[in-house]
Amino acid sequence: MRWIALFLSAALLSAQTAPKAATPAAAPKAGAAAAAPKPVATSKQLMEIMLIPASEALFDVGSKEPKTDADWAAVKKQAIILAEGGQLLLVPGRAKPGVWNNTARQLMVAGAASVKAADEKNVDKIIEIGDQILMACEGCHKQYLPKK
Ligand code: HEC
């Protein structure tokens, strides 16, 4: 039976290497194009998947104080999502000069400050930063939310 296993692994190996060898020139070009950052989600999806849950978790810190290390780790995770989510508003294809970029940067800065505050387990600081977060959300919405 061993030869079957040998034969199979040899067949698998050649199956894996064959396509690579067949397209050596095309690969780097496709890789470079794929590497350019470009939005996948709509702004609304970014809000719903990242910014709304992350900011709500931080807003909740005042009323539901984190106690254990695990609680604080969860807060920190949301702060990271907020900071990085702010940066996603700044990628080419989403970024817009003026209010949009400024408020996105405010989110990024407030998110980063929340990460630090979570490391320090500083409830008061996170509450204080919450006001800045809210101002950033509202600042962008004032200009960019579709009027109803
Ligand atoms: C740089 C601009 C910008 C920032 C900053 C921003 N938003 Fe938004 N937000 C938008 C845009 C644009 C829409 C509308 C998307 C649409 O309807 O196409 C939106 C929509 C929303 C909606 C409505 C979503 C829905 O389902 O209709 C909520 C809620 C929301 N944002 C929450 C937040 C919160 C919370 C923050 C701050 C943590 C925030 N946003 C920061 C641009 C921003």
**pLDDT at position 147, please?**
82
Nearest CA to ligand 1 atom 36: 137
Q: What are phi and psi of 115, to 5 degrees?
A: -60, -45
Instruction: Classify residue 86 by burial, with Cβ atoms within 10 Å: 0-12, 13-18, 19+.
Output: buried
- Residue 30's pLDDT is 57
- Quickly tell me which residue has 């204080």 as its tokens: 128
| Domains of the chain, residue spans | 2-35, 43-144
Residue 144 Cβ < 6 Å to ligand 1: yes
Each residue's pLDDT tens digit, 6-30: 444 444 444 444 444 444 444 555 5
pLDDT at site 138: 98
> Using DSSP, how many helices (H) and how many strands (E) does the chain show?
7, 0
> Residue 134: CB within 6 Å of ligand 1?
no
Question: In ligand 1, which atom is closest to the CA atom of 85?
Answer: 38
What tokens does 72 get?
């604080």
* Residue ranges in the chain modelled with pLDDT below 70: 1-34
For residue 51, what are the contacts with CB-CB under 8 A and spacing of at least 6?
Answer: 82, 85, 86, 107, 137
DSSP secondary structure, 118-146, as one string: HHTT-HHHHHHHHHHHHHHHHHHHHHHSP
pTM for this entry: 0.81
pLDDT score of 41:
96
| C-beta of 7 in contact with ligand 1 (< 6 A) | no
Which contacts (CB < 8 Å, 24+ apart) does range 29-37 have?
Answer: 36/92, 37/91, 37/92
Check residue 11 and give its pLDDT: 43
Per-residue pLDDT, 8: 43
Q: Return the pLDDT at 4.
A: 46
Write down the pLDDT at residue 28.
Answer: 53
**Phi, psi at 120, each rounded to 5°:** -85, 0
Is 107 close to ligand 1, i.e. is its CB under 6 Å away? yes
Looking at residue 21, its pLDDT comes to: 45
